[in-house]
Structure 1
Amino acid sequence: MATSSSTTAPGGHVNATAHSTRKRYLRRSLAASVAVAGAAIGLMSPAVAIPAAATAPTAGASALAHDPEMDWMGSTIAAHEGSAARTQVITPGVTQTPGMDVSHYQGTINWASAYSNGARFAYMKATEGTTFRDATFSANYTGSYNAGLIRGAYHFATPNSSTGAAQADYFVAHGGGWSKDGKTLPPMLDIEYGSTSTCWGLSQASMRSWITSFVNEVHAKTTRWPTIYTTTNWWTTCTGNSSAYGANDPLFIARYSTSVGALPAGWGFYTFWQYADSGTFPGDQDRFNGALSGLVNLANNT
């Protein structure tokens, strides 16, 4: 969790102090990293048990230096790509549906209030790697559903720690499933900048293989092609701007600006847009590219 010296931005994410905290975590020794992670887990709610193994990823010292408590959807974006305008410009005549994404950083969320303020969907962190489960996932998943939001789970990818298929299996087993109920969004892969290297130490070819392994396994287990969350810059750098996924996987583009800009290859349009990391709702500020009826159709796989 964030240290006591961190402050919280209006949208609920830890502000620039958290980015500094993240850097300090990565400079600590292996022993200190494990100790801090163990202490953080001790602070979590016992209602969602985190396996003890969550403190010890299995890909060597570089992976062990990575702390999943410091990760959320977009936690690396502002540091690498900047955070510009906070006011989204909606093109006249274009209907979009507001929503949000959250993790344990927001703590207890008043979902009824978020709905009354206009939020109609939410993605929430469920898992990371093959050992870490977000402590607030169960409460968020149930609370958002009861408040009337269409919701979905996401997995924060750590491609240097295990295979895509292994992480997909863990994700699906711990919240990343799907039901054709008009209320459950496709499972989502959050793939962004690595903590120790931009592309997690993988070549472009290896990254493409990892992503393919993940999305194929999710599809095999849930019948849904997962949404892919990323940025155009990361995708170009780390996959070689692969166009292999646009036909099946909905795109959740991250760009903190007044427009989405150029999209990754293969996608002619975006399905979701994370346009700011703070604002009206807790967590990040998002838009579905269409009317609420389209969002329901997506949840129904139509």
Structure 2
Amino acid sequence: MCIGCKWFYAILLMLSVADTSFVAAETDQDSSRQELFATVPYAPNRPTPFFAPQLFRFPSDARDDSVFGIDVSHYTEDNCKCMPNWDEIASQKVRFVYLKATESTTILDPSLVTVIPTLRKADKLNIGFFHFFSERADAEKQAQYFLSAIGQIQPQDLPPGLDLEMDLTSNLAGCPTTAVYAQRKNGHITKKCDMWGRLSSQQIIERANIWLDDVKKATGRDPIVYTLSSWWDVRIGAKTSLKSLHASLVWIADGDQTRVQNETPKVPGDGPWDLWQFTSTAHVASDGRVLKVDASVYHGNLSDMMKRLGIKDARQR
């Protein structure tokens, strides 16, 4: 991939973590993936690395022999104050798009109602939906909430996705040291606590499998799990593979400069991957504007993707 990457370092963070009872702060929910992509484990007394924007432009940087897609949420519309032109986006070597549907049991992405009809009408992109999994709500109820939001899955739709990563709160009271993260937002660096730090790795896996089993049973489709090794290695364990989850499809997020250049994303347990989100700052044109989106690539060609994910090409129906 033709991706120019740069690193820069944030200043040292010397804040302390209070050692009191841990209480969730609901107002911290609904982080954008771009915010989470720029969140790294906090480590006192040494620089905290952050990824600088990676310049990947559709269609010029998208190879003809690879299958690229994007994922969006209401933040995409909020930032551009516009409705994406999906016909134009589809003409720029974008073959699929994942939409954030829900988070926890109370957050429905505002753009879902408006985006689904326009994407269905454009009829040129395979679309899918993902749920941001939260420590703060029952897994079964989260699955029900997601299913009620997305409605009937179409034959050309991508597998339903489970976003399993940091569930952040700004309340650091009683937060385990290994669950403290540094996040850069609007030019400022703040510390956040990953709520999953309250649970054991086995408890996290058990909760995720409840969601995966319920969604698979309801849709008849094998879900895909989105995660990143930097989080998985700490919360679940570096030697634990993704096979502990009841899902065979893997969507890995990794923006490390060297691994992007070598096209070798890091996967927990050195396992296989299906989709790779390699940047959160790709550029795609829409009605004279430039939208900043998350970009992913499939591990194979288009024919392989259709077979592996069990879908039909939206452009050939």
Normalised by the length of structure 1, the TM-score is 0.69
Q: Is the 8 A contact 1:250 1:271 kept in 2?
A: yes
Structure 2 residue aligned with 1:248:
247
Structure 2 residue aligned with 1:102:
72
Counterpart secondary structure, 1:237: helix
Structure 2 residue aligned with 1:291:
301
Structure 2 Cα separation of the partners of residues 165 and 299 of structure 1: 24
Deviation at 1:289, TM superposition (A): 1.5
Give 2:28's match in structure 1, choosing from 66, 73, 91: 66
Structure 2 Cα separation of the partners of residues 82 and 270 of structure 1: 24
Structure 2 residue aligned with 1:3:
none
- Shift in alpha-carbon separation, 1:294–1:84, aligned structure 2, 3 A: farther
- Shift in alpha-carbon separation, 1:143–1:291, aligned structure 2, 3 A: farther
Q: Size of the alignment, in residue pairs?
A: 233
Give 2:282's match in structure 1, choosing from 271, 274, 279: 279
The superposition leaves residues 133-168 of structure 1 with CA deviations (integer Å, 9 ceiling, x where unpaired) of: 111113222323333000100101112x11222111
Runs of at least 4 residues of structure 1 off by over 4 A? none
Q: Is the 8 A contact 1:168 1:214 kept in 2?
A: yes
1:270 aligns with 2:246: no
Identity %, equivalent residues: 27
- Shift in alpha-carbon separation, 1:210–1:264, aligned structure 2, 3 A: same
Give the letter aligned to residue 99 of structure 2: M
Deviation at 1:95, TM superposition (A): 4.1
Alignment of 1:11-160 (within 5 A): 61-68=23-30, 71-80=31-40, 82-83=50-51, 86=54, 95-107=65-77, 108-147=83-122, 148-159=124-135
Root mean square deviation of aligned Cα: 2.6
Structure 1 Cα separation of the partners of residues 28 and 53 of structure 2: 30
Q: Which has the higher strand share?
A: 2
Alignment of 1:196-235 (within 5 A): 196=169, 197-200=193-196, 201-235=198-232
Query: Runs of 5+ in structure 2 lacking a partner?
Result: 1-21, 41-48, 57-62, 78-82, 170-192, 285-290, 313-317
Deviation at 1:178, TM superposition (A): 2.8
Structure 2 Cα separation of the partners of residues 85 and 64 of structure 1: 29
Normalised by the length of structure 2, the TM-score is 0.66
Counterpart secondary structure, 1:293: helix
Give the letter aligned to residue 38 of structure 2: A
Query: Runs of 5+ in structure 1 lacking a partner?
Result: 1-59
Structure 1 Cα separation of the partners of residues 200 and 246 of structure 2: 23
Structure 2 Cα separation of the partners of residues 210 and 233 of structure 1: 20
Deviation at 1:207, TM superposition (A): 0.8
Structure 1 Cα separation of the partners of residues 230 and 195 of structure 2: 11
Counterpart secondary structure, 2:137: coil
Counterpart secondary structure, 2:158: coil
Q: Is the 8 A contact 1:74 1:192 kept in 2?
A: no
- Shift in alpha-carbon separation, 1:300–1:205, aligned structure 2, 3 A: closer
Q: Is the 8 A contact 2:213 2:246 kept in 1?
A: no
Structure 2 residue aligned with 1:238:
235
Give the letter aligned to residue 224 of structure 1: R
Give the letter aligned to residue 252 of structure 2: I
- Shift in alpha-carbon separation, 1:260–1:190, aligned structure 2, 3 A: farther
